[in-house]
Amino acid sequence: MARARAEGARQKISVLRIGHRPGRDPRLSTHVALAARALGAERLFLNPPDPSLERRVGEISKRWGGGFEVVGAPEWKAVLRSFPQAVAHLTMYGEPLDELEPKLRGADPLLLVVGGAKVPSEIYRLSTWNLAVGHQPHSEVAALSIVLDRLLGTPGPGGWPGARQVIVPQRRGKKVIAPVAEALP
């Protein structure tokens, strides 16, 4: 079933990734950033900052469009303070998604916080909600994506503003076009 999107104004969601490790394998933080972007978040705050990752994701945004950005965040608590009463920390120890989902819908703008294996214990106290996407060990990429899909839905086909390339969905194979009228067949 297609997910209903809120009519009218779209909920504004930012993501904060804490415990990123610059210089180590950046793939997981990259997946967090790209999933946040593809699923409709406005920005990723990255703590600690990583200019190389910011640049690489910025290049993808330039090519594929939209206004998503990665913002280096030297102080994660400062980010939390700018989303008063609207911080959901994703942790398998928290309250079930099915129960918190209606509250999350009412928080606009909303900050979703994802950590790695270890997070500072203060985060449990400083967050508005501790939100469990299931209560089994799994993946911050998975948990974040499910929350975004439930709140915003997964975007359908069509170019994003400013895109240089756009996918045309196919039953088989790949089709990518430049999103200008004269490039269409």
Q: Which of 48, 54, 71, 160 binds a second copy (CB under 8 A)?
A: 160
Q: By CB under 8 A, tell whether 164 contacts a second copy.
A: no
Question: Does 184 participate in binding a second copy (rule CB under 8 A)?
Answer: no
Contact positions with a second copy (CB under 8 A) in 12-41: 25, 27-28, 31-32, 34-35, 37-39
Residue 130 C-beta: closest distance to a second copy, Å: 6
User: With left for phi above 0 and alpha for psi between -120 and 50, is residue 153 left, alpha or beta?
Assistant: left
Edge-to-edge strand ranges of the sheet holding 87-96: 69-72, 43-46, 13-17, 110-114, 87-96, 129-132
Tokens of 30: 């990259």
Q: What is the distance between the alpha carbons of residues 89 and 129, in angstroms, rounded to a whole number? A: 6
Q: What is the DSSP letter of 32?
A: H
Task: Catalog residues that contact a second copy under the rule CB under 8 A.
Answer: 1-3, 25, 27-28, 31-32, 34-35, 37-39, 60, 64, 92-98, 101-102, 124-125, 129-130, 132-139, 141-146, 149-150, 153-158, 160, 166-167, 169-176
